[in-house]
Structure 1
Amino acid sequence: MNIQQLLTLAILIWNFIVFIVYGLDKGKAQKGHYRIPEKVLLSLTLCLGGLGAAFGGYFFHHKTRKWLFKLTWMLGSIINAGVFYWIWR
């Protein structure tokens, strides 16, 4: 496995973790438990977790009405695409 494949795998695993975090926060919201702060969710999104956050938001129907989250998901996805392009160019 070369460095490009390892970096891609690491980013995909990170996005899966972000996806799971959105699911955990949704579960906590439904049960009325302590929540993950929004700034943490937004930070995870911008730190190469845009795809996982967007999929998690829509899959779990979580934070889809908040414009800031939608904007951050788009920006995070663009960042992901740029990094993937940089890795594979």
Structure 2
Amino acid sequence: MAQIRGPALVPSRARTEEILNRLRVCRARLAAAPDDPAALRDMDDVTYTLCVLMGRPTTHEAVRAAEELLAGPAGRTDLLNEEAGPAA
């Protein structure tokens, strides 16, 4: 069975930070009003978006990947190229 390596493209730092901030806002909204249908829909939307953006199957993995990307050096886009090997 093939191993999942991660996203085919590295997302932009700005977009990653935007989605993580949206996630934090949604968490705060749900903590204040756990039964709010709009807050629940927004949380579903942002967690799905983060998982797709980061190429991860779970929210926990997507958050970790996003935080690692943001903690790394700015402008580093070779994270996946190292796994893929040299270009043909």
The TM tier, using the shorter chain, reads 0.3 to 0.5
- Structure showing greater radius of gyration is 2
TM-score (norm 2): 0.42
* Structure number with higher relative contact order (C-alpha < 8 Å, ≥ 6 residues apart): 2
